[in-house]
Amino acid sequence: MVNSLVVGLSDMKLTHDQMALRCAGLGSCVGLVLYDLQQPIAGMVHIMLPDSELSRGKAHLPGKFANTAVPELLRQVLAQGAIKENIRAKMAGGAEMFRATISWTANIGQRNVEAVKEQLDSFHLPIKGEDVGGNFGRTIRFINETKELHIHTFTKGDKTI
């Protein structure tokens, strides 16, 4: 089995070799992978929220919000030598885990997915696979060598995209 770099909450990691990228505990959060089709360059981010305006001006990691995470992950993948025309995306998460008790958390999983897709679209980055929504958590593992995203859930089984 290939070793994995663990991507924590609001974190992003890159690999340019055979190292896999792993993100556990995706509920309403979105795990996004950007990878180069031709080279062993990939990055993963664990996005918590849709828009940095929710931070109310407080400092935050760029991986926390979709509107800061996607541009930063793209910048870092390109800095490693990826070619923009060869970059593709895969994503998972965006579930509705709990009934919202305050208005800003309502449909947060769906809002996260929509925000990530808007960002990807703005950079003309095609989504090659996704497993989003539902009401269950996910753990994902991206295998850089095969460009496969393995998705594990306790209730829905495993799948690969």
Residues 6+ apart with CB under 8 A from 103: none
Q: What torsion do the CA atoms of 19, 140, 107, 76 make, to the nearest 10 degrees?
A: 10
List the structure tokens of 9: 């909450």
**Structural domains of the chain, count:** 1
Task: Domain of residue 73: give its range.
Answer: 4-160
Predicted structure pTM score: 0.93
pLDDT tens by residue, 28-73? 999 999 999 999 999 999 999 999 886 666 778 999 999 999 999 9
Residues with a known catalytic role: 29
Nearest to 47 by CA among 93, 3, 105, 6: 93
Q: What is the CATH number of the domain that holds 93?
A: 3.30.1330.200
pLDDT tens by residue, 124-157? 999 999 999 999 999 999 999 999 999 999 888 8
